[in-house]
Structure 1
Amino acid sequence: MKADLLALALVVGGCTWAFRYLPTRLDLSDQPPAGLRARFLAATGPAAIATLAAASLLPMVSARLAETLPLIAGLMGVVAIFGWRRSVVLATLGGAAIYGVACALV
Structure 2
Amino acid sequence: MRSEVLTLALLVGFCTWAFRVFPTRADLSTLAPTGILARFLAATGPAAIATLFVASVMPWLQGGVALPMICGIAAVLAAYAGSRSVVAATLAGSVGYGFAVWGLAFWA
Provide the residue aligned with 1:77 in structure 2.
74
Shift of 1:7: 0.8
Amino acid at match of 2:71: G
Deviations 1:26-64 (A, max 9, x none): 22222222222211111122213322431343123235x
Matched, 1:35 2:32: no
8 Å CA contact retained: 1:79, 1:91: yes
Q: Pick which of 6-15 and 85-94 moved more.
A: 85-94
Structure 1: 5+ residue runs without aligned partners? none
Amino acid at match of 1:81: A
Give the Cα separation in 2 of the matches to 1:100 and 1:74. 9
Structure 2: 5+ residue runs without aligned partners? none
Provide the residue aligned with 1:53 in structure 2.
53
8 Å CA contact retained: 2:75, 2:93: yes
Secondary structure in structure 2 of the residue aligned to 1:32: coil
Give TM-score, length-normalised by structure 1.
0.65
Give the Cα separation in 1 of the matches to 2:92 and 2:48. 20
Identity of aligned residues (%): 40
Cα gap change, 1:68/1:84 in structure 2, threshold over 3 Å: closer, same or farther?
A: same
8 Å CA contact retained: 2:71, 2:97: yes
Give the Cα separation in 2 of the matches to 1:9 and 1:92. 25
Secondary structure in structure 2 of the residue aligned to 1:27: coil
CA RMSD of aligned residues (A): 3.2
Shift of 1:18: 1.1
Cα gap change, 1:59/1:79 in structure 2, threshold over 3 Å: closer, same or farther?
A: same
Larger radius of gyration: 1
The total of aligned residue pairs comes to 102
